[in-house]
Structure formats: C-alpha cells, structure tokens
Amino acid sequence: MLVKWSRCTVVDRRGFERGQRKWAGLLGEPGFRGQGGGWSRGRPGVAHTFTFWESRPFYDSFMARSHDRLAAAQSGTYSGLRTKLFEYRFDVKTGFEPRFTDADVVRVAHSRVRAERVEHFALMQEKVWNPAMAGSPGMVRGLFGEAPGHEFLVLSMWRAAAEHGKYRTERVERLALRAQFAADVAGLTGAVVDLEAGWTV
C-alpha cells in the first residue's frame, strides 16, 4: 500500500473546503483505498490530507489521467503545497485500514533517520513504540511507512485529542529513552490533525 501525505497553507478557507469535497471523485479510481484529512492543531490555516493507494502503479496511473482535473477545483486556494509518498511497512496496532470515520484526530510523525540506524529504528518502532501506542486508550489504528532516503512516517488515529495528549504526557519521554530515539533520528517533524468529516472519501 502507498500513502500520500500532503500539507499546505490555506489562503481561501471556504474555497479550499469546497474544492476538498470534489475529491469524492477518487471513489471510482482503480486502486484507490481511502482519503481523509483536516486542520493542524498547532499551525492555524495548515491543512493535511492522507491518501491511500493499493500500489505505486495505480497511483501513477491516476496522476497521469485524473489528478489535474480534480485538483483544479482548489486552484488558488492554498500555497506551499508539500507532498511525500511512503510505502506501507507494517501496522501500528493490528488490522490497519484507511478509514477515518471512527477517529477524531490523526497524529503524523515524519522522521529522517541516520543511515546506519535504519534497522534499529524500525525494530524499536515494532518492539517499543507499537505496543505502547496499541495499548493506549483511544488509539484506534495506525501504520509505519518508509520513503527513499531513510525517511519514515508513523501515522496514528485517535478517538479524541485528549486521549492522544494523555499518551504523550505519560509515556513519550520514557519510551524515547528506551528506544534510543535521539541516536536514531536526525530530524523529526509532525502534526496533530483534527479530522474534517467532509474530507473523508
């Protein structure tokens, strides 16, 4: 499975949201698995979307055929668009599906990992971070993905921001020490995203 993470700064909120609903046209696309998104909690006016495809060839085919037509509806409503593709590696908790209807919040963490630490980083995700997240009240599902250049995505869905906040406060520092996170990671960016029901496809 392929995950596309997009973010941009919105300059015309009403126009952007109107255009966002046009992405419902993805439903007929071969290989399309689901899409959701919303607004960054920490950065007002920044929108995030997460789109899932069965494989890279399906995604490439869509980009060549239908993408520009659907994207035209949002033209001029945002600036600074950044997109990144990740290949799914494994679940965070069992049975990941690209569904957004039972979550209110997505936490996305994007790590650039030192080349010699990649295997250790992935192992710690599996052995330390995944069990901690999976056992946290309110955590619905998630995934771990990889992009070329030793970049990784951890995407987790939560029933409510308060539940994600509790997990962060109670555990993250301790877990980071145990996983030797500082030794593995050269750079980390991320966001907590309040999901918009109308953006779900």
User: For tokens 């998104």, what's the residue?
Assistant: 37
Q: What is the pLDDT of residue 142?
A: 97
Q: How far apart are CA 176 and CA 155, in angstroms?
A: 17
Digitized pLDDT (tens) for each residue of the chain, 201 residues in all: 999 999 999 999 999 999 999 999 999 999 999 999 999 999 999 999 999 999 999 999 999 999 999 999 999 999 999 999 999 999 999 889 999 999 999 999 999 999 999 999 999 999 999 999 999 999 999 999 999 999 999 999 999 988 888 887 778 889 999 999 999 999 999 999 999 999 999
Q: Which domains does the chain have, with CATH numbers?
A: 2-199 (3.30.70.100)
Cβ-in-10-Å burial (0-12, 13-18, 19+) of 73 comes to middle
- Positive or negative, the CA dihedral 189, 42, 88, 85 is negative
pLDDT at 172: 86
Please tell me whether the overall predicted TM-score, pTM, comes out greater than 0.85 for this model: yes
Distance CA 182, CA 143 (A): 21
